[in-house]
Chains A and B, each alone.
Chain A
């Protein structure tokens, strides 16, 4: 085995025998993000058991998601899919009254070729609630890509952008004024005019990717400082607030796993995609803002100083990580951005495992990674798509990295063998975007290092019995 580290980015592809979460896990964070939604996962006990085990306690908080558990009669087509789904959705409507029901297709619906997309519009008419269909199955996707399939499906439901305030609307407004005569016409027109003025500053910009509302407003206000107005987010806090899209709208992603959504926005909704590195780490955030500003022809203000300030605040953590090595086993597609940030922090990255790499959608991020390596004069890491966990563990045995970023299936066994680990899943759920949260990323990365500083001299870092000679 060669562990030589090359001078340019190298891309490899292994067997795809790796551990990751099923993409249906996206309901865990999406149902919380989209407050008026209900997620119905059409699948088997296997899917349900995964959700209840992976999402732990959340199930007990009366979640707005459920399984439509397929039984033998559904598989053998003795029952009518449409009638069955109708029965369940009626019950959901009655119990929860959501603004949208999202059907998550699974492996089983793929294999038995259940026509969810065909049934949804019909049932939608009958039920009077929008039904969005996303195929987030383990046959095609990994973990966070589940969100990608849901957002791509939702992009079709965003209203059409009407850029210029057309006459119709003004007339409508004056119609309203007939009812509410206490509002003076002049005032109403004035506000419209004002909004229009604001819009003129930059064309409408819609950001896509699901983030906790605090993080979303942090990023929006970062852009506002550069006097860029964010006209909407996909997804919004409520389904009824989905942003308008159209050929005048610029879109930009905040997460690296949203390539289908990006494609849908470009091809189907004719939006203009801004390809930028992702706002993870202060370096990424700055590059992200700069790219958006440059597209709008705006000169950035005070960004450099701001980035510097953030780095200065991170000093204590940077001292801990500098010179340490990392190995990404790969499972959530955040790996490239995180690796780039950690390299900028002074770490050495041996390997970036990643389930799937869209080189076009991630182009800016990849270039940024390359430049960061050059800038820090650190050899380029190897990028391994569809990794093979068994091989990775062999490589790790040889390389003995200071930190392995890995799924929970491998974390404890690696720790028992003296390799520090951080669960990759935490990066999916923690707040890692923007300047403000840079510290949170390092908090996660350094936690095993800090913990082990405390335990260092106790002499029990390797806790397995002698490995059998094979």
Chain B
């Protein structure tokens, strides 16, 4: 048992559901007790999703506990098959159902006989993997299922496209700025004259998965999700993949050079040279390279920062801060414990120390000890920063609704470098401004003239009513006080009691 207040990565089934519901026309059925379908709430609220989340539960209740699910799961699958006519139904086990040890595979086999949809059982172990690992696994599982199916049916066409083309693997729902990153990657590939073959899972159809091998290579922008799929495709179809995250100027250039290498390997007649493009973008289109030379950025030299997040974002941001902006990263860390080796290798030489943990109190203690001028982390670090009065830029999941902006905010590619520069710079200047204000004692040195209407002369609040008044949240207290006193004056009352307060609320709220 572990005493836990908060967690960075969710349980396994969330990862499976995120992948399943990102595909078009795929329905997930959870084998779960009532209330476990809060994934729908997260998706509908955070992503502001217009459509019903294609996730339902086959409810595990007392009866199921006593007698087993029996026909219930199969019935629910066939029912959903009739109602929604999905291409694929993913039966998703939860922590509850994995202890019940029912033979879910058997349900899947039975249900796939009667339904038109394909049915598979998500293969994840709840007590061993987290949300991200499960998502990675599920994506691979779905891709494998459809490619093997196509191979069996003889519909698999392995010939690559005439012109260079790429798949983007790992863009999906509830991912940190994934939609914007996807648009930016498409733009980047377009600039390089590379066609986008397929983007999965977001918006992709499982029917098109058999076309994946037609691309020249796979691009895996995020370390956490898509790598398993890319490795599977490399092993079985000889497709090369690029797993360098194009975040920051240096890494974006590196990613493009990798693309060039793979494209030239496969291209028989034409040779591609992207160096002029990289140079043009770096020096003139992206503002980040110029920014790092400008005197603004000079002021940031040697300032201390702490970075924490998922492996991809934390590693990339650490390198950007240290290599591209000259900021001193005192400590960097990730909660992706399963990927610790890779992470350490990536940030080696770019930071003073490395912290691998999924315990937010350890991160908090570290930040308190280091006392950086700015933090780049998740929503949790933002709150730690609030408590310690240190500004924080959010660079990674887990996130709140404000990290699903409506405006265009990629982290990847050349526009991404601009966004990151803004984020970094704004975090630091705010901190500086704050600091100066404190030294010089605030904006307003003259005493503020009270806006309160009440004078304390003619009305008395008895002790109870004062207590009651203090219970009211600060930001409305003044208003309640004024309204109550106004009401008291109108009714020639001088002694204010709790009853008067309530009466005032009733009378004046009309």
A residues with a Cβ closer than 8 A to B are 16-17, 19-24, 42, 44-46, 48-50, 52-54, 56, 59-60, 63, 66-72, 74-75, 79, 84-85, 87-88, 91-92, 107-108, 110-112, 137-143, 213-214, 217-218, 221, 309-310, 312-316, 390, 393, 407-413, 416, 435-436, 439, 463-464, 470
Contacts and interface: CB of A to CB of B under 8 A. Distances in A.
A406 to B, nearest CB: 11
A439 B505 CA distance: 10
Given A45-B11, A310-B506, A68 B1 contact: yes
A464 B510 CA distance: 38
Contact of B44 (A141, A213, A412): A412
B99 to A, nearest CB: 5
B35 A21 contact: yes
11 contacts: A56-B400, A63-B5, A69-B2, A71-B127, A72-B127, A88-B1, A91-B3, A142-B34, A221-B499, A412-B48, A413-B53
Contact of B45 (A87, A92, A412): A412
A49 B506 contact: no
Interface in B31-47: 32-38, 40-42, 44-45
A464 B498 contact: no
A-B complex: 7 closest residue pairs judged by Cβ atoms: A22-B35, A138-B33, A409-B40, A313-B510, A416-B50, A84-B1, A45-B11
B157 interface: no
B140 to A, nearest CB: 22
A250 to B, nearest CB: 24
Contacts of B34: 16, 20, 22, 138-139, 141-142
A344 to B, nearest CB: 18
A22 B56 CA distance: 15
Given A22-B36, A50-B35, A137-B33, A70 B96 contact: no
A226 to B, nearest CB: 13
A28 to B, nearest CB: 13
Contact of A46 (B36, B42, B65): B36
B148 interface: no
Contacts of A85: 1
Interface of A is mostly: helix
A413 B2 contact: no
B498 A221 contact: yes
A53 B42 contact: yes
B33 A49 contact: no
A45 B10 contact: yes
B430 interface: no
A141 B400 CA distance: 28
B50 A412 contact: yes
B100 interface: yes
B57 A54 contact: no
Nearest to A89: B3
Contacts of B83: 390
A61 to B, nearest CB: 9
A33 B35 CA distance: 23
Interface in B46-96: 48-53, 56-57, 59-62, 65, 76, 83-85, 94-96
B366 interface: no
A396 B172 CA distance: 31
Contacts of B6: 48, 52, 59
Contacts of A312: 510
Contact of A214 (B53, B94, B96, B468): B468
Contacts of A50: 35-36, 38
Q: Which of B11, B33, B49, B94 has the most CB of A within 10 A?
A: B33
A112 to B, nearest CB: 6
A72 B35 contact: no
A310 B503 CA distance: 10
A107 B383 CA distance: 31
B14 A48 contact: no
A408 B57 contact: no
Contacts of A213: 471
A313 B508 CA distance: 9
B38 A21 contact: yes
Contacts of A142: 34-35
A393 B49 CA distance: 17
Contact of B35 (A48, A49, A138, A410): A138
Contacts of B95: 44-46, 108
Contacts of B509: 313, 439
Nearest to A53: B42
B409 interface: no
Nearest to B83: A390
Nearest to B95: A44
B361 to A, nearest CB: 11
B285 interface: no
Contact of A436 (B3, B40, B502): B502
B7 A52 contact: yes
B198 interface: no
Nearest to B34: A138
Nearest to B82: A470
Contacts of A314: 510
A46 B45 contact: no
A71 B127 CA distance: 7
Nearest to B51: A413
A218 B506 CA distance: 12
Contacts of A309: 506
Contacts of B7: 45, 48-49, 52
B480 to A, nearest CB: 11
B453 interface: no
A67 B3 contact: yes
B1 A17 contact: no
Nearest to B60: A139
A69 B502 contact: no
B99 A49 contact: no
A50 B33 CA distance: 13
B370 interface: no
A74 B13 contact: no
B507 A470 contact: no
A436 B507 CA distance: 9
